[in-house]
Amino acid sequence: MTDTTIRSVVDLPAKVEPAIVVGAGAAGLAVAHALMNAGVPTAILEKESRLAEPWHRRHKQLHLNTHRDLSSLPGLP
């Protein structure tokens, strides 16, 4: 007998492909955090020696006047 059961796409197991995020600036780190929270294996590629290096070079004396909760990166204190 032929199976005529209709299943929702949501019920089918999905294959999760790994992701590569290019750039570890604020946007790249936020995207990588969201992907990892969604269960996606994620690698971050950054050409500089530390995270968000262009931001550090461009804004050496920057001090924010907002609460840390409003300006921190996702997943970081």
What is residue 7's predicted lDDT score, i.e. its pLDDT?
62
Average pLDDT, stretch 21-25? Answer: 93
Cβ-based neighbours of 68, under 8 Å, separated by 6 or more = 77
Report the distance separating Cα 36 and Cα 51, nearest Å.
18
Q: Name the percent of the chain lying above pLDDT 70.
A: 81
What is residue 16's predicted lDDT score, i.e. its pLDDT?
85
Residue labelled with tokens 């089918």 = 12
**Which sequence spans correspond to the domains of the chain?**
18-65
